[in-house]
Structure 1
Amino acid sequence: MRKFIILLSLFFLLSPIVWAQEPGKVWTQESAKKFSIEEIQRLGLEANGLVLAARSQVNIASAGVVAASAYPNPEVVVMAGPVDRRIPESLTGPMTDQRTVTVNQPIENPFMRSARIGAAEAGVEAGRASLDQVRADLAAQLRVRAYELLLRQEQAALEQSIFDLLKEVHRRIKLNVERGESARFELIRAETELKSVENRKEAARLNAERARVALLQFTAGALPADFEVRASLKDAVALPPLDILRKEIPETNPEIVRLQAEQERTKLRIDQERASVLPSVNVLYSNFQDTQFNANTAGLSVRVPIFYRRRGEIDSAIFDSARIRETLDYRRYEVGQLFESAWQALQIAQRRVEMFESGLIKEAENAVEVAQAAYRFGERGLLELLDTQRVLRGILGDALQARFDLQAAAAEIDRLRAYYPKELIPE
């Protein structure tokens, strides 16, 4: 970009570019606070409501383990009341009261208890995997949005420089027309091109503002309004080799990990339902008191599953386990294909970047320089100069887009393998 402006300034004197955000307010880069990509990810992961909600789900699941580990409480029944006589008082004595206290303590099936606790613990693992997935998705989105903001700002700066150039061209042509050195048709053509470039410049500026607002939205307003991204579209992309990534992603992808935990939980639920068919035992103790007697009795209450053996609940758990297993197999395949697609996109973007940097931009800049010199000596018209500038603008725009596509593909790969600055995230 800077080299492009320097080459153009050989023929036209350009004034320094000042980007006005709104009328009467001038924005300067020094007045804004800069944040790195990692800092933006940290702020977003700390403030975004979806992450906080997913963390609450983990806490809820952890509380479920406490509930599943609790022992059943005893049940105490107290009964009391008067005793009415049916024979004369001379034989029974005076009328009195009687009282009965009964304690019922369930004895839990140890197989059902262990399966229930295991299922609750698997639910915690599933919740943590879901939290990791939300974090990875948000971190990737923040990274892509940050680089999109850089892309839009570069595009806006490009359109601004072209607008300043054509504005100077328009001024010089207008002077030549007034002196009778050029035809008025050249001025009309320059005015038309200037209005077109001005519209593109305004659209690029608005797109940059929209990208800024989108990034603020993903960080839940944690960034200041005048923030700047301390990064570049030319940042190097560092990823492990392809073979390592193919082995790593099925093991670290949060959705696969979550489905594995869900599958374990459904298996334990089957064990829990099957264990519930076994007879359940309650220990009973009862104390009876009246005027003449004080009786203590103890016994067992056994529930025998003869008529209904929880066939419906067991089948439901089996079918649910099959559903999770089939979903897991499909998601393994789908995540693998998503990675292969992201890797191919990364390779394509790298080749495009190399193509632009290997000399294509330089050739377009040289063509503009030649067209400027020819236009200055009257060998070429304004139309030829504008055509070469359009070609250079298109190549520069494509180069910016290729660099952004490279960063976006790398962010997608990091999302699939849940790679983000975890050490900066509070648990």
Structure 2
Amino acid sequence: MPQVGAPRVRRAGRHAYFAGMLAAMLFCWQAPSAWAAYTLPELMETAMQHNPALGIAAAQRDVAEAAVTTASTYSNPQVEATMGPSRYLTPGGQGDRRNWSVGLSQSLDFPKVREARIEAAEIETRIADAGVELIRIELRSRVKNAFYDVIQRKAVLRMVEGDRNLLQQIRERVKLRVEVGEAPKYELIKADTEALAAERDYQTALVRVNEGKAYLRGLLGSTIPLEYDVEGELPLTYGLPSLDKLREQVAQSPQLSQLRAGIDTAEAKLRLEERLRHPGLTLKAGVEEDPDLRQIRLGVALPLPLWDKRQGPIAAAAAQIRQSQATLSDRALGLQRDMEAAYQRYVIAQQQLAAFENGLLSQAESVLRVAEAAYRYGERGILEYMDAQRTFRAVRKDYLAAKFDYVSSMLEIERLLGTELLEVKP
């Protein structure tokens, strides 16, 4: 008895087949070989030259250098001039003659105050330098991670594309067997379902590749074209030092160096605030002339710390030191914790890679071959064969994910320590 759903299944399978062929043609028409292909060193150089974050950090360093110039500059002198008529109140005075005066004053900081102000400004430049270095480290890590992420997604795309093509071939063979009466029609339904799932996985993988490339381009600025490709491979030949050696390197992290410079800045500001209780003096000189007298005056003015002894600014500067020290301790513990967690992820990924390469991949492939042979000889049905195919695909996807986790965990440790663990070779 003919089944009512059979023509619909054939049409659905035919539509899926033509849709897959059309997608493959479109992908080949936009073949990455026709696009400009970039290596990791080229992308790193582009990012270091055109990323806006580095421009912001460089501008902040210029601001810090300008602050040093400001702290080293003497204040401008002040000139004061007055004049007006003179009228004597006693008889016999001349009267109605004008008098005038000219005065010059120059404020001078005491040497210790000036040294403390310049020292605080110079330490700020160290913080700005550390900020530039941190931006470089962060950018370098993000570009590497995004680049290897695209490489991994392209590997997944190639894998699912091969699976899609293979399942389409299997579907055609199953369709032929169903048409000649060698297999029941539910096998064609199962093959259609698997082919549609493979097409969905392929389209998803293609979108994920484009998504990863768009994110990578966002780190590089607009200097590379919208359509581009990357070439390279995951650096699986690299490894990490022991955990004890990595712990020793935490103390040299640029993040901690910046925080130590912050403590030095807070201490310099405390010294400055203490010395500003006696900031300096003002030298004064002037000439004053009235109708019958010309006077030349020299003087000095000193502020008296009677009411304002700068107790508030000094207390605030001391609190800033304690805050900076606590921040350094907290960040050191955080770096140690994050580094050890990333190292554990690295060990797990390393063990997973060893498990895949020492048996899981070959076992899954052997099971697939046995299931395929059994299906061809009629010893097993299409369901067992499809299950074996699905298991093999899952194992390969997990293997690719483990490879990326291995590299990603090393990149995280590299970012935390601020060192070059995965060398970028030109």
TM-score, normalisation: structure 1: 0.89
CA distance in 1, matches of 2:279, 2:143: 55
Cα deviation for residue 325 of structure 1 reads 0.7
Other-structure match for 2:269: 269
Deviations 1:4-50 (A, max 9, x none): xxxxxxxxxxxxx9995894871334323332223222222322212
Provide the secondary structure at the position in 2 that maps to 1:294: strand
Deviates more, 1:175-184 or 1:377-386: 175-184
Q: CA deviation at 1:215?
A: 0.9
Residue pair 2:151, 2:234 contacting (<8 A) in 1 also: yes
1:221 aligns with 2:222: yes
**Structure 1 CA distance for aligned equivalents of residues 221 and 190 of structure 2:** 47
Aligned partner of 2:385 in structure 1 is 385
What's the C-alpha RMSD, in Å, of the aligned pairs?
2.3
Question: Residue 46 of structure 1 aligns with which residue?
Answer: 49
Distance 1:279 1:388, change over 3 A: closer
Q: Structure 1: how far apart are the matches of 2:247 and 2:21?
A: 47
What corresponds to 1:186 in structure 2? Answer: 187
| 1:232-276, Cα deviation, whole Å (9 max, x unpaired) | 13542244443332222221x222111111110110111001101
SS in 1 for 2:143: helix
Render the CA deviation track for 1:289-326: whole Å, top value 9, x for unaligned: 34433321101111110222111110011111111111
Taking the TM superposition and a 5 Å limit, the aligned residue runs for 1:6-405 are 23=26, 26-86=29-89, 91-93=92-94, 95-233=96-234, 235-251=236-252, 253-278=253-278, 280-405=280-405
Q: Decide whether the 8 Å contact of 2:86 with 2:95 is kept in 1.
A: no
Task: Output the amino acid matched with 1:109.
Answer: F
The question of whether the paired residues in 1 share the 8 Å contact of 2:152 and 2:404 is answered with yes
**Greater CA deviation, 35-44 or 393-402?**
35-44
Task: Give the Cα separation in 1 of the matches to 2:290 and 2:25.
Answer: 93
Alpha carbons of 1:149 and 1:20: their partners in 2 closer, same or farther (altered >3 Å)? farther
AA of the residue aligned to 2:204: A
**Identity, % of aligned pairs?**
28
* Structure 1 unmatched ranges of 5 or more: 1-16
**CA separation of 1:165 and 1:189: change in aligned 2, threshold 3 A:** same
Given that 1:83 and 1:95 are in contact with CA atoms closer than 8 Å, whether structure 2 keeps it comes out as yes
Deviation at 1:380, TM superposition (A): 1.6
Q: Any idea what the Cα deviations from partners look like across 1:179-228, whole Å, max 9, x if unmatched?
A: 22222121111111211221122111111111111111122233333332
- 2:14 corresponds in structure 1 to none
CA shift at 1:155, angstroms?
A: 1.2
Q: What letter corresponds to residue 349 of structure 1 in structure 2?
A: A
Maintained 8 Å contact 2:151/2:231: no
Tell me the distance in 2 between the aligned counterparts of 1:101 and 1:127.
Answer: 45
Take 1:24 and 1:399, find their aligned partners in 2: how far apart are those partners? 25
Post-superposition shift, 1:396?
0.7
By how many angstroms is 1:81 displaced?
Answer: 1.9
Equivalent pair of 1:109/1:276 in contact (CA under 8 Å): no
Aligned residue in 2 for 1:3 = none
Q: 1:273 to 1:24 in 2, by over 3 A?
A: closer
**TM-score, structure 2 length as denominator?**
0.89
Q: Distance in 2 between matches of 1:210 and 1:146?
A: 12
Quick one: distance in 2 between partners of 1:417 and 1:259? 14
Cα shift at 1:361: 0.9
Give 3-state SS (helix, strand or coil) of 1:303's partner. Answer: coil
